Amino acid sequence: MIGRFTLAASLAVVVLAGAPAKAATPQQKLETCNFGADDKKLAGAARKSFLAKCMSDKDSPRGKSVAKPKQQP
């Protein structure tokens, strides 16, 4: 019985370690974004732009996707 619990707990740790981290609250997300801006030594407009992108709910590091042109028949 204890062996099953240990196995399940170990598996949960492995699965959760591979999952992407998300901030639980807007305050935690702001702290994470500020840490990133500080790490990059951003100031002024560059910092403001970085924080705006970081605080948005978009997960894509590439930004908006571009629509593919329609193929003509």
Query: What are the tens digits of pLDDT across the range 33-60?
Result: 999 999 999 999 999 999 999 988 676 5
pLDDT above 90 for 65: no
CA distances from 15 to 5, 23, 69 (A): 15, 18, 39
Phi, psi at 46, each rounded to 5°: -65, -40
Spatial separation of the C-alpha atoms in residues 34 and 27, rounded to whole Å: 11
Spatial separation of the C-alpha atoms in residues 48 and 64, rounded to whole Å: 19
> CB of 4 within 8 A of CB of 10?
no
Question: 0.75 exceeded by the pTM?
Answer: no
What ranges do the domains of the chain cover? 25-56
Query: What are the tens digits of pLDDT across the range 3-23?
Result: 565 645 555 555 454 445 565
